[in-house]
Amino acid sequence: MLTILFDGIAYGMLLFVLASGLAVTLGLMNFINLAHGSFAMAGGYVTVILVNRLGVPFFASLPIAFLASAVIGFVFERALYVHVYKKPHLDQVLFSIGLVFMSVAAADYVMGSGQIFVQIPKFLQGQFEIYGIGIGRYRLLIIVICGLLTVALQFILANTRFGSRLRAAVDDSRVARGLGINVNWVFALTFAFGSGLAGLGGALGAEILGLDPTFPLKFMIYFLIVVTVGGTSSITGPFLASLLLGIGDVAGKYYVPTLGSFVIYTIMIVVLIWRPQGLFSRAASR
Amino acid sequence: MAVALETINLVKRFSGIVASNNVSLQIAKGARHALIGPNGAGKTTLINLLTGVQRPTGGRILLDGEDITSLSTHERVRLGIVRTFQINQLFNDLTPLETIGLAVSERRGQGLDWWRIVGSRPDLVAEVVEILERFHLADVIDKRTAVLPYGKQRLLEIALAIACRPRVLLLDEPAAGVPEDERHEILAAVAALPADVTVLLIEHDMDIVFSFADRISVLVNGALFVEGSPEEVARDPRVKAVYLGEEVADA
Amino acid sequence: MLPPPIAIRVATEWLAARARWQPLEVGFWIVAFAAIWLFPDRHLILTEIAWLGLFALSLDLILGYAGIISLGHAAFFGLGAYTAALLAKYEIINEPVLALLVAGLAAMALGFVTSFLVLRGSDLTRLMVTLGVALLLRELANRLGWLTGGADGLQGVSIKPVLGMFRFDMFGHTGYAYSLIVLFILFLIARRLVNSPFGLSLLSVKGNPLRASAIGISVDGRLIAIYTVAAGFAGIAGALLAQTTSFASLEVFSFDRSADLLLVLIIGGAGYLYGGLIGAIIFKFMQDYLSALTPQYWPFWIGLVLVVIVMVGRDRITSWTAPFRRIASHLNWRALARHVAASSSERR
């Protein structure tokens, strides 16, 4: 039982790292970016190439995956996204679905359509037991890394100059502009950082989630659930939503496998109808 | 005195802020009633409560003695409470002809007709054209609303409310933002409203208020402050103090 | 006081101009029906165009006329497809037209129930909810393997002749004529509907819901109504697919299908009914051509088209379809001139 809880937490924290960038994009520019998973996939494939083909150590590949996805995110943001921010939601949806489809086909072309796993170091494989709880070494690593990232993220947002500018821009971009904050620049950096986090999540998750070209499509709904259920007004909301989703999904698949993803989708619909602003959102934030 | 619209101890709170504080207002049938008050006095909130856009925290709203507090906006419109908006709320992609046609066919209960082509009822079209002519919109009936001059849009705003055949009409600053030389057209339209329509006018411009109203209510901080005939209100030192106070605060 | 009759007649003329058949429209349908005899070897792809066009028409009703963004319109399409296929497989209703109606009604029922979910909330919540409903149905069809065949799809469906007379053939001759007639009838209904007072009120709800309710329109009521009708159209489109291919699989519910549908409608342009039909023609021939080159990478081209359309601007992309739209002001002026002439001759 506790093993499931443990796995669920690992899964949830992974989801959080994957989706946190999306929460910021959505909250900051009110932009619906369905292509967020594509940046995660990019990070995953970068790690696969580095580790499996070039023999780069796994731990060294993680920051590279982060940087690669961040750079890709930055380039796309400056070249394409920036032109779509002001367009209606329909355009944003069409545009980002287009990117998803292109990335899926491109990954298929470059990497092949099969599922790929990263060769993780020997000492991270297998599991050990503490008080009868089976602890996967790799999952423990994920919890540690993602936990550190979450704390760091919270620290950056709450205590740094960039964080305060970002929060100002989230709360009211016009006022922020008036205060002399370069909102465009803040957003480009945030977008790049969020893409980087997604890429790191993709790299870490390649082992558990599996990596294949349809990754952005398969997990799109999960990312969206995290941000819509969690709300975009803080990172605590998406964090809690990720944990709930992770635990719920793992437990659901273990205990009631016949129901499949039923439970998750139903809960999502109920929550969205019940609290359209998100379960953990400040009331009437927008 | 027959009362058309009445509120009883109406209260509206927004997370701590009291926007309407125990408002008990009576508007007589056929009255030309003006509601004035400094900025932030809660005039717009009161309109929203009367029309059902917002729900009161407490209190009741009666139309001809019937409780309508729980009715939705469109149900109240069918009973005859119609409003105009301070900032134009029009259908930018439709023409004035279509806009007024919408309201008229809705009032006649034909808004759900899906098997009939628009414009296939001559009596309905006649009524629409009559309204458009009355509000000096006959020359622009086929233009998209978005491209109309502001003054025309303002007229359409009022014409659209009239097309609903209101029993009680809530006019929210009808002349707001209209340039001086187009104002008289709007004011003439307001003055020419059918006598049997009860009008509640929300207005900042005191010239308009005193030339139009036969009764005035002053709202301050969400509560009813003073009510009386124009002469009484004009003479009331407390009202002067409120408005002077506002001017001092503004300066 | 009544306005002069001339003014009333001019106004009537202007209003009626919205619904008048344009020569281009007539030509469009003549070509579509002529294709039954002119292009017998293309009937298979034409059949696909017909049901895809109907499906896109259905999306246009809610997106173009009521402003609801849906990423899960495949839910209704899929339900219609499975209903038609199941009715035929278990020989509950053997006559295709009747089965088509039942499939449409089933989808309408689902549309009615789920319409309450899209009344509130932002574009994003609507998007998620519609997507969620489609995913739920897909999962349902997957789990009910004993009934639906699960992931293998519903096989062994044989469709009886239409009206007991016209047998479906492997070249799609019957299929195309059948699909086209269904499409045309439903198109006429949709055309009536959008040009009616009801259709006009939809545009008002889309344009300014606050004011729409302030003139007595029940915004929720109108959205529920059009969502239900559109769901029925989508269900019938799905049923056409199932009947003309004798097959239904989980793929009918897929996200890709909903996303492709958006593309179809956007290529043609939303909000004037022909957008979905024109889009379906372009989409299918594009698919036919591009997937012949690289079947596996076909999604790349869809994606590229979507991105390009948004970057260039939807209006600019679809500006060439203007003759199909109702903005034909010269026509109004001609009508006006005609009436002025008529009324002055009457007076004499």
Pairing verdict, β B17-28 and B3-14: antiparallel
What pLDDT sits at residue C325?
64
A181 pLDDT higher than 80: no
Mutate: best of B47, B102, B121, B128, partner C, most C CBs <10 A = B102
B251 pLDDT higher than 70: no
Beta-carbon count within 10 A of C152 CB: 10
Q: Do A91 and C262 touch (CB under 8 A)?
A: no
| C129 contact residues in A (CB cutoff 8 A) | 269, 272-273
Range A67-72 contact pairs with CB under 8 angstroms and sequence separation of 24 or more? A67/A196, A68/A42, A68/A43, A68/A199, A69/A39, A69/A40, A69/A42, A69/A43, A69/A195, A69/A196, A69/A198, A69/A199, A69/A200, A69/A202, A70/A192, A70/A193, A70/A195, A70/A196, A70/A199, A71/A192, A72/A39, A72/A42, A72/A195, A72/A199
What pLDDT sits at residue C326?
52
Give A18-76 pLDDT, tens digit per residue: 988 888 778 777 788 999 999 999 999 999 999 888 888 888 889 999 999 999 999 99
Pairing verdict, β B17-28 and A127-130: unpaired
Give C109-129 pLDDT, tens digit per residue: 999 999 998 887 788 888 888
Q: Do C215 and B106 touch (CB under 8 A)?
A: yes
Of A2-6, A195-199, C22-26, the least confident: A2-6
Mutate: best of C215, C329, C334, partner B, most B CBs <10 A = C215
A103 pLDDT higher than 90: yes
CA dihedral defined by A147, A149, A152, A154, rounded to 10 degrees? Answer: -70
Residue B211: φ, ψ to 5°: -85, -15
What pLDDT sits at residue B193?
87
C345 pLDDT higher than 70: no
Q: What is the DSSP letter of A53?
A: I
Q: Percent of chain B scored above 70 by pLDDT?
A: 96
User: B3-250: what fold?
Assistant: Rossmann fold (3.40.50)
Mean pLDDT along residues C182-186: 97
Of A98-107, B5-14, B242-251, C15-24, the least confident: B242-251
What pLDDT sits at residue B246?
58
Mean pLDDT along residues B183-193: 86
Distance from CA of A83 to the nearest CA of C (A): 7
CA dihedral defined by A217, A222, A224, A227, rounded to 10 degrees? Answer: -150
Distance from CA of C59 to the nearest CA of B (A): 18
A286 pLDDT higher than 60: no
Give A79-96 pLDDT, tens digit per residue: 998 888 888 889 999 999
A154 pLDDT higher than 90: no
Give C234-291 pLDDT, tens digit per residue: 999 999 999 999 999 999 998 889 999 999 999 888 888 999 999 999 999 998 888 8
Measure CB to CB from residue A276 to each of C125, C135, C305 and give the nearest one: C125
Residue bearing tokens 């899964």: A11
Q: Does A59 reach chain C within 8 Å, measured CB to CB?
A: no
Separation CA C70–CA C121 (nearest Å): 13
Q: How many helices (H) and strands (E) does chain C have?
A: 16, 0
Mean pLDDT along residues C74-84: 96
Q: Percent of chain C scored above 70 by pLDDT?
A: 91
Q: Percent of chain B scored above 90 by pLDDT?
A: 45
What pLDDT sits at residue C99?
94
Q: Are C183 and C50 in contact (CB under 8 A)?
A: yes
Task: Name which of B30, B22, B19, B29 is nearest B53 in CA terms.
Answer: B19
| A106 contact residues in C (CB cutoff 8 A) | 300
Q: What is the DSSP letter of B28?
A: E
Q: Are A103 and A76 in contact (CB under 8 A)?
A: no
Q: How many helices (H) and strands (E) does chain A have?
A: 11, 2
Strand intervals (E) in chain A: 127-130, 133-136
Q: Do C125 and A259 touch (CB under 8 A)?
A: no
Q: How many helices (H) and strands (E) does chain B have?
A: 9, 10
Separation CA C24–CA C27 (nearest Å): 5
What pLDDT sits at residue A101?
93
Residue type, C160: K
Distance from CA of B191 to the nearest CA of C (A): 19
Separation CA B228–CA B235 (nearest Å): 10
Higher pLDDT, A134 or C281: C281
Mean pLDDT along residues A103-127: 83
C190 pLDDT higher than 90: yes
Mutate: best of C117, C123, C256, C306, partner A, most A CBs <10 A = C306
**Mean pLDDT, chain C, integer:** 87
C51 pLDDT higher than 70: yes
The helix-helix angle for B150-163 and B180-191 (nearest 10°) equals: 10
Nearest CA in chain C to B80: C216
Helix (H, G, I), strand (E, B) or coil at B33: strand
Pairing verdict, β B66-67 and B58-63: antiparallel
Of A61-65, B43-47, C311-315, the least confident: C311-315
Q: Do B164 and C200 touch (CB under 8 A)?
A: no
Q: Are C265 and C59 in contact (CB under 8 A)?
A: yes
Distance from CA of C218 to the nearest CA of B (A): 6
Q: Token digits for C231? A: 């769901």
Contacts of A8 (CB under 8 A, 6+ apart): A243, A246, A247, A248, A249, A250, A251
> What is the helix (H) or strand (E) element at residue B5, kind and residue range?
strand B3-14
Nearest CA in chain B to C336: B142
Beta-carbon count within 10 A of C146 CB: 7
Q: Which chains touch A (3 or more CB pairs under 8 A)?
A: C
Contacts of C303 (CB under 8 A, 6+ apart): A97, A98, A99, A100, A101, A102, A103, A104, A105
> What is the helix (H) or strand (E) element at residue B43, kind and residue range?
helix B43-51
Task: Name which of B147, B169, B144, B146 is nearest B159 in CA terms.
Answer: B169
Domain boundaries, chain B: 3-250
Q: Does A228 reach chain C within 8 Å, measured CB to CB?
A: yes
Measure CB to CB from residue C214 to each of B83, B95, B120 and give the nearest one: B83
Q: Which residues of C touch chain B, with CB atoms under 8 Å apart?
A: 1-3, 7-8, 11-12, 14-16, 18-19, 192-193, 195-201, 203-204, 207-208, 210-219, 225, 329, 332
How is A247-263 classified by DSSP, letter by letter?
HHHHHHHHH-GGGTTHH
> What is the helix (H) or strand (E) element at residue A22, kind and residue range?
helix A2-29
Beta-carbon count within 10 A of A214 CB: 18
Beta-carbon count within 10 A of C75 CB: 30
B1 pLDDT higher than 70: no
Of C93-97, C153-157, C220-224, C273-277, the least confident: C153-157
Q: Give, in degrees to the nearest 5, the angle at Cα C107 between C102 and C111.
A: 145
What pLDDT sits at residue C161?
86
Separation CA C183–CA B36 (nearest Å): 58
Contacts of B9 (CB under 8 A, 6+ apart): B22, B23, B24, B58, B59, B60
Task: Name which of C280, C308, C252 is nearest C47 in CA terms.
Answer: C280
CA distances from A226 to A12, A36, B147 (A): 10, 12, 43
C233 pLDDT higher than 90: yes
Measure CB to CB from residue C198 to each of B93, B113, B133 and give the nearest one: B113
Q: Are B215 and B228 in contact (CB under 8 A)?
A: yes
Separation CA C29–CA C35 (nearest Å): 10
Q: Do C132 and A221 touch (CB under 8 A)?
A: yes
Q: Does B125 reach chain C within 8 Å, measured CB to CB?
A: yes
Q: Does B45 reach chain C within 8 Å, measured CB to CB?
A: no
Name the band, by pLDDT with cuts 50, 70 and 90, for residue B250.
Answer: very low
Separation CA C227–CA C293 (nearest Å): 38
Residue type, A84: V
Mean pLDDT along residues A209-228: 87
Measure CB to CB from residue B117 to each of C14, C16, C212 and give the nearest one: C16
What pLDDT sits at residue A97?
93
Query: Number of CB pairs < 8 Å for A and C?
Result: 126
Residue B229: φ, ψ to 5°: -75, 165
What pLDDT sits at residue A115?
85
Q: Token digits for B4? A: 């058309």
Q: Are A202 and A215 in contact (CB under 8 A)?
A: yes
Q: Are C245 and C155 in contact (CB under 8 A)?
A: no
Higher pLDDT, C327 or A168: A168
Q: Percent of chain A scored above 70 by pLDDT?
A: 95
CA distances from A46 to A52, A68, A109, A195 (A): 10, 8, 15, 13
Residue type, A153: L
What pLDDT sits at residue C323?
66
**Mean pLDDT, chain A, integer:** 84
Q: Does A282 reach chain C within 8 Å, measured CB to CB?
A: no
Counting Cα atoms < 13 Å in the Cβ hemisphere of C16 gives 13
The ipTM estimated for the assembled molecules is: 0.89
> What is the helix (H) or strand (E) element at residue C100, kind and residue range?
helix C96-118
Q: Are A183 and A166 in contact (CB under 8 A)?
A: no
Measure CB to CB from residue C300 to each of A102, A217, A224 and give the nearest one: A102
Of A138-147, A262-271, C267-276, the least confident: A262-271
Separation CA C258–CA C317 (nearest Å): 21
Q: Does B106 reach chain C within 8 Å, measured CB to CB?
A: yes
Q: Token digits for C299? A: 């999604």
What pLDDT sits at residue C330?
38
Mean pLDDT along residues C46-54: 96
